[in-house]
Amino acid sequence: MHPPVDLTEDLARFRDQLATYLKEDDLERVCAAYQFSADAHRGQFRSSGHPYVSHPLAVAETLAGWHLDTQALCAALLHDVVEDTAISKAEIAERFGKTTAELVDGVSKLDRLEHQSYEEAQAENYRKMLLAMARDVRVILIKLADRLHNMHTLDAVRPDKRRRIARETLEIYAPIANRLGLNPLCRELQELSFRHMHPLRYQVLAKAVKAARGNRREVVSKILHAIERRLPECGVEAQVQGREKHLYSIYRKMRDKHLSFSQVLDIYGFRIIVKDVPSCYLALGALHGLYQPIPGKFKDYIAIPKANDYQSLHTALIGPYGTPVEVQIRTTEMHHVAQAGVASHWLYKDTQSLPELQRKTHKWLQSLLDLQSASNDTAEFLEHVKFDLFPSDVYVFTPRGKILALPRGATPVDFAYAVHSDVGNRCVACQINFESMPLRTELRNGDRVEIVTAPHARPNPAWLGYVRTGRARAEIRRFLKTQHNEESATLGERLLGQALRGLGVDPAMIAALDWERFLRSCGGKSKSEVLTDIGLGKRLPAIIARHLLEGSAAGAGASEESRRGAILIRGTEGVAVQLAACCRPIPGDPIVGVIRKGQGLVVHTHDCPVIIKQRGDWVDVDWEPGISRPFEVVIRVFVANQRGVLAKLAAAIAEEQSNIVNVSMDQESGDTTTLTFTLQVSDRQHLARILRNLRRVPEVVRIMRCKEKPKD
């Protein structure tokens, strides 16, 4: 039995808070929502022992601090009603309106029974919440306020759950708060997460900061008075505020830069708030005249705002006794946006920069919908979002001078996809500051980036190894997945055609009605899906062929003795048809195909030892006449160890118009050297001419063709 807790004082404080900006009718509506929530949660208690309604009340108080509207406040008070009581979404819609019900639904978790694990359930919850947030940003504001109160009351839950919730907060909710410009909320969530994830480290660091605060009080006071005297002398009216670095920021700096606490000197900083933008730069000049600036530590976020529209001048100075001092300079309007972010839409309606902030927020929220359409898998979607949640702190220029903000470590491929998905998909090269550079080059602040495209280019799977933005990663994966399915469907059609001809039926004779009958019986979604499954090895073409012929007119005259046509291989089919790396077949080699589940058709030479045990799964394949593309082949040449022999071999190879892709050397003994070449050849006859040329070199002892890939 929990002891009774009186919420009268909390409720009175909440009413007083609402009365400062809500009309009487709206105030009564919010109070009605509180009463509805209290009745629904009656008899329910939190782990702390408080009545459950104390939680939605605390969430609504946080939102009232941002001056959110009546619908959001009602949704905050009702956000757990659907999940934890018998009240339905329809009842909330009927009583408090459809919009409030939609906000409640966006915040509510999904039924965990639908998922196989806690991790999968949480990933799906994040997905649902983020997509609801893309439709209405108030969803995430309610959820962030909900998470803040949960973090404040986390001591009441068991340690393992406490650490898990703290990690979720640090990885998901704090970055979202930062991305929406809610900087104080972000810092508070980080501090609380740090305290619950690493309680001993938190306590030790807190004691160290407290001791340092006493030791440095005199220095900090001296700097503060010096700044307050200097600014009016330079004609700058300003408010000067001292601020202490948060424990999590100190901890992260110590961890990332491998510093001890005594080496972290910039624990204290100052914030200077002035009336307009020119005063920001005047104040900066005054400070740089007062104390020496630290080179490389100046950042102008006024000229180039952060992605969440944060604006300030940041500088670091060497104060008295060599003490580093961090200073932020901003206008009152910039301070409002820095403190409340997207919530300043409700809190400061006269702020001039709000339309730009709303545009940037809308653009980011729209990108979540784009990621959703590119990612069918929930975990993949969450991975993309996590990539985009970290602060953008690299600013680069397009050829026309437009500034793009990208995450640190971003590459020209990220830049290309940030411009447009078509530019990314057709990207082949780039120029950074008018110089040709590799696509994997990390971009730096101020780089001018130009992307070179080609009409028939397509994304390279290797890009996934170094792109940093969720948008680029999602678009590359979507393109590769679509391409893979298209190629698999084409291969599946060819394999099914071969199976039908093996039964004496022309594939053209299979009517649409036969396909409809088959799809009804097997439960397939579409003909394309079935063909894709055949190409990926998930369905056997012979079985599909027989099912299609059951009861069809085409199957009436089928003959098992008809000649079975081989599938022709061009070597350019894409990922659906692969040339086996174990035997590296080239045109002219006798070949056989093997269907591998999930891989499609893998082509081997007929004597490849890998496929001897898979004889039952073989597919008849042959080379298509007139193939013109080059194929890679590996040869090993044993030569007498004499000067100039490599040059002779290279000349002999070049004489037959072959390109050397790779060469490696292994000295067997003092007299003999083994050279392994990877060559590009058009077919088996081309390879024979190259080998004949090499045998004419006097130093060549023996030549053999290798089936395995050479070591790098």
26-80 confidence digits (pLDDT tens): 999 999 999 999 998 888 888 878 888 899 999 999 999 888 889 999 999 999 9
For residue range 460-479, what is the model confidence (pLDDT) as tens digits?
888 888 888 888 888 888 88
At residue 1, the pLDDT reads 45
Average pLDDT over residues 267-272: 85
Active-site residue among 10, 83, 380, 617? 83
Flag whether pLDDT at 287 surpasses 90: yes
Rounded-to-integer distance, Cα 593 and Cα 601, Å: 6
DSSP annotation of 443 = P
Q: In 136-173, which residue ranges form alpha helices assigned H by DSSP?
A: 138-152, 159-168
Beta-bridge partners for 579: 603
Rounded-to-integer distance, Cα 530 and Cα 586, Å: 30
Instruction: Compute φ and ψ for 327, nearest 5 degrees.
Output: -130, 135
User: Exposed (0-12), middle (13-18) or buried (19+): which is 428, by Cβ within 10 Å?
Assistant: middle
At residue 3, the pLDDT reads 53
Rounded-to-integer distance, Cα 595 and Cα 598, Å: 9
Higher pLDDT, 641 or 537: 641
At residue 562, the pLDDT reads 40
Strands 567-569 and 621-623: parallel
Give the percent of the chain with pLDDT over 90: 24
Confidence of residue 256 (pLDDT cuts 50, 70, 90): confident
84 included as an active-site residue: yes
For residue range 297-322, what is the model confidence (pLDDT) as tens digits?
898 999 888 877 789 999 988 888 77
Q: Which tokens hold the place of 622?
A: 């042959």
Q: With 0.75 as the threshold, say if the pTM is over it.
A: no
Query: Which region among 416-425, 545-554, 678-687, 692-701 has the lowest average model confidence (pLDDT)?
Result: 545-554
Average pLDDT over residues 96-110: 83
Confidence of residue 139 (pLDDT cuts 50, 70, 90): confident
83 included as an active-site residue: yes
Query: Which region among 190-199, 408-417, 500-509 has the lowest average model confidence (pLDDT)?
Result: 500-509
Average pLDDT, the chain: 81
Rounded-to-integer distance, Cα 4 and Cα 393, Å: 50
Burial code (b: 16+ CB inside 10 Å, e: under 16) for 518-535 equals: beeeeebeebeebbbbbb
Average pLDDT over residues 142-166: 90
Confidence of residue 113 (pLDDT cuts 50, 70, 90): very low
Query: Which region among 200-204, 302-306, 636-640, 696-700 has the lowest average model confidence (pLDDT)?
Result: 302-306
Active-site residue among 84, 450, 529, 617? 84
At residue 195, the pLDDT reads 94
Token pair 């006859």 is found at 685
For residue range 372-396, what is the model confidence (pLDDT) as tens digits?
655 556 666 666 666 566 555 678 8
Query: Which region among 190-194, 241-245, 405-409, 573-577 has the lowest average model confidence (pLDDT)?
Result: 573-577
